Chains A and B, each alone.
Chain A
């Protein structure tokens, strides 16, 4: 090889050394920071004594049951009344739309404890609406219903955001063509818009459910921490810590939540992969 060839080769090597080498160290650091706690949790759960026993204590089982019920009910409500709102936000102009849009965004950026205080002020026994309800014999605060309300308040926005974007991505021409083919607006929504927005609806539902499952702050303030009634899994972790008996029960609860989160994230991946195939 000539001298010129050698120096050109050296220059190529030097300048081909990409940014990836420079960024590798901080990236690795960040990955470790995120990965180590989760790994530690799983390792402790698997190596510690009596994971199976801890998973089946009454406290854990009650919390598991309550979390499953409340987060599922929350999801169903979010889908049933969030979908129409998402469609209106995506497709129609109406007075106060900007305000509604902001209201939907608000719980996403608000600390959940603030959401809890707001719900208490509105629906507590002496709350703005709650007082009237109380006179009618209806109490919401510190009941299982309050858990669902707290979860819905913080998690429904994730569903509505995602589904709204999904509806916006469906070209209105499909609905127009469906109507020229004799479809009523409702039929064209069900047969055309919904299927085309389906990946977003599933993704929104997964995000919403995950958020509901991990809800803590709003529930604590608006629903309290009553075992079997308002004590979902995140709250049970706190209760178990406060009782000071051992760290084994919180670990068991945490592992369940990690597993649930992992499954949901996997589902989200699958949905994201099948989505483009529909088009």
Chain B
């Protein structure tokens, strides 16, 4: 089957997939734009930071750095610590992104917690890479758009929308259940759960992500080593 691609259909699929990200990103980035504005940094700085840095939590910390004038060393170290989880996301997509030609660099840049999770649910059909690209593009535009909006009209928005970012938690829970039901190998999911709860208790909510990912990757490698020789194959 080698029919020409139906791009509007692909964009529609991508848009539907990106709706939960939209709910989360638009409101979070409006809050970001507002906070930037309040710190004396107008919308064009928010737009610029959102377009080129494009990472949730760290951008919020960056506001304080920009308004208080933190040292370069502090900024570098914080960026490294808060964003190193991205390394683990890339590992799953090395082969997929390699196939994406010119889009590869953009796909690397636009990899976030949310696009990682959503793109993981796209079935492996002939349009997979195209849908992934548009999910990434739309998510990035939501984030930039909200940042601009927050800077310009932030004060006009009634902030009774508290809790709307729960849609992302809901999406993660749904993806978790979906994947749980589609496989008989629950070891990775359980190791992830155990490792992250353990690290949360030991390291606290601020910094537990990186140790969790390191621990779970280590455990996965060890369990693969143990399986080696017993049987080959996966899933």
Asked if A and B are interacting partners, one says no
B-contacting residues of A (Cβ < 8 Å)? none
